[in-house]
A and B are shown apart, each in its own frame.
Chain A
Amino acid sequence: MTTLITVRDLSVAFDGKEVVRDVSFSLRAGECLGIVGESGSGKSVTARSLLGLNGHGAQVTATTLDVGVDVLEATPEQLRHLRGSRIGYVLQDALVSLDPLRTVGTEIAEPLRAHRVPAAQRPARVQELLTSVSVPEPELRARQLPSELSGGLRQRALIAAGLALDPQVLIADEPTTALDVTVQAQVLELLEQNLSAGRAIILISHDLSVVERLADHVLVMHRGRVVEEGPTAQVLTSPQDPYTRRLLAAIPSASSRGDRLSDLPPATITAVPRERAPEAGPVLEAIGLGKSYRGPDGRTRPVVQDVSFTLDAGETLGIVGESGSGKSTTAWMALGLTPPSTGQVLLDGEAWTGIPERKRRSRRHRIAVVQQDPLSSFDPRWTVGRTIADSLSVGQGRRGGARGSAGSSGRERDRSARVAELLEAVGLDPAFAARHPLTMSGGQRQRAAIARAIATDPEVLVLDEPVSALDVSVQAQVLDLLGDLQSALGTAYLFISHDLGVIHHVSDRVLVMQGGQVVEHGTADQVLHAPQHPYTRQLVSTLPRRDLQEAS
């Protein structure tokens, strides 16, 4: 088979800072090469080097960088001819990767224009391309704007633009990120078809299960270097490099339940065990919750219908669903932030919704939240320490801490000691108290957000997609932390996620939501091993075919 791409000792530096170092690989016709790594691993920079698209200020060196032409020696015009015609490149998140001001048709026709395909032939070719990526009603879609298409269709349109000139190689950079799992499966299928039609693919992803499905050969990148490479099955079943092993172990799934995902030592938390009479009912109960909004057309649109659940002390209830399933609205109603249209929520057996906010306020410390994007949930003017102290100022209830005169120096000292304690409990150095959230990494921010949430010593913690913005290894640490905290504090978790693996790892019981309704409800093993509802079955079928965990 002919070799299409040969890379030897590729290094890329920006302003003298090396982000990719000594990367070598080759790609043969009809082959799929997977590049796996977390954010900052240099996988996208590597891909862009193949197109000479690293921008100004990038110093690219290599002994060989051959993609049919020598990228390092090629003139700008030669490189331009190469892009699109020899190598197609598909970025993640089509909403921003397609020009929002141009119609889908114009966008797909653009590479044709750039490569001098006569104007008369372009419309037919656009239709052909849209059809080939299984976009229904291609004539209509070509006239629409990217914002009018669903995420899945948009991603297909972006792929169509990448395939416009029938390149031998397609680079797909996180092609399924930000898509719902069922749509992800469809996009992967599309790539699979291209592969079997003989096109070579470089698939870049942080998600091992995506790479596993398509790639023949895998490169694992970490901090700019290739730490492991080999045939996909071999790398995933018997990883040699410690990083690869850690990465594989970090993936939450059914079989990882009860195990630690990260190699961090368990958090040390000193806490008074919660005392609760065994006959006491659930801490949180939702009865027939519903929420509808009036749309711009004046019609009422239900987003949540008839959702009921109970949450017992110290247990975890997972709510899983795709975007628009109503899971976040349900969480917001449980928090008493969104008033339900129908039904009610009980906190510790007492009415929690349907009463004025004034009456909720004194009980608010008993239910806390951790949001998906921790950064925006911090007051930008405050240090982490001040944010946590602010949270400590409420909810001294159960602990019975003396609510002395505010501002007395002894109390101040108590409080900063408590802040330090909380930071240590979530695995952060107490020095973080003086930091601003902007200067912290995503994982550190999420830890700080958890510290803030547990500062009021809540009985219920609502976790709204708490790990979905994090890299796998950081996600593993945060999930471990949450597990440690739960066993030490006995807090009940309402855990909302789109990720089945995460849900299966953390939940005792699971609620599957679709289109605002609960379609399935049961213990985690029941729901995920023996799904009854067709939608749940479809969801479960998108899970990796072989359980990666067993291998490692």
Chain B
Amino acid sequence: MNVVLIRRILTTIASAALLLWAVATIVFFLQHLVPGDPAMAILGGASANPPEETLQAIRDQYGFEDPLLVQYGAFLTGLVQLDLGESYTMKQPVTAIVSEQILPTLQLTGAALAIAWALAITLTLLTAGRRGWLGRLGAGIEVVFAALPHFWLGVVLLVVFAVVLQWLPVVDDGPLGLVLPALTLGIPLGGFLAQVTRDEFDVALRQPFVLSALSRGARTADVRFRQVLRHAALPGIALSGWGLGSLISGAVVVEVIFSRQGIGQVLVAAVNAQDLPLVIGVTFVVALVYVIANILSDAASVLVDPRLRHTIGATS
């Protein structure tokens, strides 16, 4: 059992490393497909009209004229040492910028994930497997929620709650400022998770073990909450790693709407300024977060589904 577990952990780490290497390689070569002179970008673009000597000095400094493989080697070496180079525009190490900016984004996405799950579970428990209007209402709410784009929901929430009602601040780095952005991100994902959870809930409710439990005198509420919900949550949990990835994607939009600090704002600015080291750095860190999130969601699945624990050796 222990050997199996260790082997499983090693496999997970190895495949995560492979994934990160692939991501890094892809972005590195994409970067070298960019038309134009990176040295020019560093010096503020063609409009800044830098002298040729300065350009050459920059090229030498960054090694832009080395063979591609040498540059790739240097890039990978840097990566291993957690050195992602220096931002062209901000003239700071990318690692420093990214590690500072990822925290507010993680707070935001974490809060959004919590909201999404709270929403999904509430909707499922209240309305799934119920006949009549209550079930239809729940299903309808989920479809609408899931279809709301962040850019629109965010603007509506902002105008209604911050501008018109003035209940919440428009821009605030404190916990109050987190409410609207997290809701913007969490509601659509919640709608989506609730759809998945409801479908599974309905499937599980028709399983003979439910009838079997009821026939032994179990309370309906008990069966719903202690047994069926657990089955219903499984696919949602497995999807949560992917969900966090999609939340980071959404965070780009939400941070722009609410002028929140975070990795999304950095990314938009970097793309606009063609600051490629920073773009790569952000991409890489997001991929890292995605990988970790997936490992966590796998672990959560194993916690909830004991069958996975027992078949570890058989399936890996």
Contact = CB atoms under 8 A, between A and B. Distances in A.
Decide if A and B touch, CB cutoff 8 A.
Answer: yes
Interface of A: 48, 51, 53, 56-57, 80-85, 88-89, 91, 93, 96-103, 110-111, 114-115, 145, 147-148, 158, 161-162, 164-165, 296-297
A51 B227 CA distance: 21
A53 to B, nearest CB: 6
B212 A91 contact: yes
A162 B214 contact: no
A145 B309 CA distance: 11
Interface of B is mostly: helix
Contacts of A103: 306
A110 to B, nearest CB: 6
Given A56-B131, A101-B306, A296-B313, A115 B217 contact: yes
A80 B217 contact: yes
Give me the 4 closest cross-chain CB pairs, A-B, nearest first: A84-B217, A89-B215, A111-B216, A84-B216
24 contacts: A48-B211, A53-B214, A80-B218, A81-B217, A83-B215, A84-B215, A88-B215, A89-B216, A91-B211, A97-B208, A97-B212, A101-B227, A101-B231, A101-B307, A102-B227, A110-B218, A114-B216, A114-B217, A114-B222, A115-B217, A147-B310, A161-B216, A165-B216, A296-B313
B219 interface: yes
Interface of B: 131, 207-209, 211-219, 222, 227, 230-231, 304-307, 310, 313-315
Given A56-B131, A296-B313, A111 B218 contact: yes
A80 B219 contact: yes
A48 B212 CA distance: 11
Given A114-B216, A147-B310, 7 more contacts: A89-B216, A97-B209, A111-B216, A114-B222, A158-B212, A162-B215, A296-B314
Among A48, A91, A114, chain B packs the most CB atoms within 10 A around the CB of: A114
Contacts of B231: 101
Contacts of A57: 131
A148 B310 contact: yes
Contacts, number: 83
A83 B211 contact: no
A119 to B, nearest CB: 15
B213 A110 contact: yes
Contact of A91 (B208, B222, B314): B208
A224 to B, nearest CB: 20
Contacts of B306: 101, 103, 145
Contacts of B315: 296
Given A103-B306, A145-B306, A83 B216 contact: yes
A83 B313 CA distance: 40
Given A145-B307, A145-B310, A100 B209 contact: yes
B264 to A, nearest CB: 38
A158 B211 CA distance: 13
Contact of B230 (A81, A85, A101, A147): A101
Nearest to A77: B219
Nearest to B315: A296
B160 to A, nearest CB: 40
Contacts of A96: 207-209
A83 B222 CA distance: 15
A122 to B, nearest CB: 14
